[in-house]
Amino acid sequence: MVDLSVDLGRGRRLPNPLMTASGCAANGKELHRFFDVADLGAFVTKSVMADPRSGRGTPRMAETPSGMLNSIGLQGPGIGAFVEEDLPWLKSVGARVLPSIAGSSSREYAQVAATLRDSSAFDSVVGVEVNISCPNVANRGLVFACDPMASADVIGLVREQLPREIPVFAKLSPDVTDITTIASACVEAGADGLTMINTLLGMVIDTDRLRPQLGGVTGGLSGPGIRPVAVRAIWQVRQAMFEGRLPTVPIIGVGGVRTGRDALELVAAGASAIQVGTAVFNDPSAPVRVLRELCELLSAKGFERFSDAVAVAHGR
C-alpha cells in the first residue's frame, strides 16, 4: 500500500491528499449521501463571508466545452450560521475541515477568521483557505488576487487571527500576468501554503437572445478544459520555489481534475494535495474515486509514498 499521508505545514498531517474544492461541494451534507466525507484528506467548504448573501441572479451557469462557467456571487449563510450549523455537522461526522473564507475588505476577512477561531467546532479545522479572488470594494472592485499588496494585506490580517498551528492557504487566481509575484507576496505575508488555481474569468454569449448568458455577465471558467493552466501555474510557482525566488511551502492543486491520472499531473508539477471541483457535478463520488485511482496509479508506478511523487516532473 502506498503511504498517502501528507504534511500540510505547521505539523498538520492528513491521511490522504484528496479534498473537495470550495463551492463545488457545498458544506458536506449533500455529498455525504454519496460517500463518507470523513474519507477525504480534508473537506473544503464553500467560501463564507461575514453576513448572509443571496448571491447573483440567474442564470448562474453555462456549460462550455469540457468545462463550465459560473457566477454564483458567493451565496451563503454568513460565518455565524456556518460556525453554528455547518462546521459542527462536519465535525460530527468526523471530517477534517478546511474552511474557505472570503471578504469584500481585508477587515471582513479578518473578522470571518476571528469568528471561525472562536467557534465551538474549531477543533475540526485543519487549515483555512483564503479565497482572495473577491472584488475589493476599497479598490474599485479590483480582485484582491490580482494585486500583490492587497493579497498580502488580506493574508497578513487573517494569519494574525488564527492560532499558530492552523496553516493558512492563499487561493490564487490564474488571471494575472505573473502568478509567482502574487504567490510570493502571500507567502511573505504569512501564508503557510498556496491553493492553485481559482477559475479563469470567462464569458458566454447566449446566441439565441444575443446577450450575456449569465445574469452576472462574466463568470468563472472551470473544469478539465482549464487543467493545462492549473498545471502550468503550479509548475511555475514550484519552479520559483526550487530557484529560491520564494520559500518552499505546500501547494494544493485544483483545476480540471477528473481522474487519478489528472491528479497525478498536478502532483508531478508540484501539488502536495488535490482538490476536485467541477468533476463532482459529473460524478458526485469523484473525490473518492480520484483518490482510489491516484493510489492505484502510484502503486503501479512503484511509489511507496505519495510525497515522493510531489514535483517529481521537475528536472526530468
Partner 1 sequence: MSERSLRARVTQEVAEVIATRRVGAYQHITLVAPGVAELARPGQFVALAVGGETSGTLLRRSFSIHKVSPSGTYGGTVEIVVSAVGVGTRWIVERAPHDTIDVVGPLGKAFPLPTAPVACVLVGGGYGSAPLFWLAGELRERGCHVEMVLGAASEDKLFGVVEARRSSDGVTVTTDDGSAGQRGWVSDPLPEIIDRTKAGVVYGCGPMGMLESITRVAEAHGAVAQVAVEESMACGVGVCMTCVMPVVGSDGRTRMVRSCVEGPVFRGDRVRWDAFDGGHARVPDDAVGAPKVGGH
Ligand X SMILES: Cc1cc2nc3c(=O)[nH]c(=O)nc-3n(C[C@H](O)[C@H](O)[C@H](O)COP(=O)(O)O)c2cc1C
91 is in an annotated binding site: no
Instruction: Return the range that interacts with ligand X (CB under 6 A); candidates 66-74, 103-111, 143-151, 179-187.
Output: 66-74
> Residue 86 or residue 265: which is nearer to its own copies going by CB?
265
The yes or no reply on residue 226 touching its own copies (CB under 8 A) is: yes
Packed helices 148-161 and 179-188: angle between N→C axes, nearest 10 degrees: 30
Tell me which residue of 312, 168, 313, 174 sits closest to 249, measured CA to CA: 168
For residue 284, the 8-state DSSP code is T
197 is in an annotated binding site: yes
Size of residue set near ligand X by CB under 6 A? 26
> Which does residue 283 touch among partner 1, ligand X, its own copies, none (CB within 5 to 8 A, set by kind)?
partner 1
Rounded to 10 degrees, the C-alpha dihedral 184/190/194/200 comes to: -70
The yes or no reply on residue 64 touching ligand X (CB under 6 A) is: no
Burial label for 118, CB within 10 Å (0-12, 13-18, 19+), is: exposed
141 is in an annotated binding site: no
What 3-state DSSP class applies to 5?
A: coil
What 3-state DSSP class applies to 158?
A: helix
> Which does residue 148 touch among ligand X, its own copies, partner 1, none (CB within 5 to 8 A, set by kind)?
none
Dihedral sign for Cα atoms in the order 310, 311, 313, 316:
negative
> Which does residue 104 touch among partner 1, its own copies, ligand X, none (CB within 5 to 8 A, set by kind)?
partner 1
The yes or no reply on residue 103 touching ligand X (CB under 6 A) is: no
The yes or no reply on residue 257 touching ligand X (CB under 6 A) is: yes
Binding-site ranges for ligand X (CB under 6 A): 21-24, 46-47, 70, 72, 74, 100, 131, 171, 198-199, 220, 222-223, 226, 254-257, 276-279
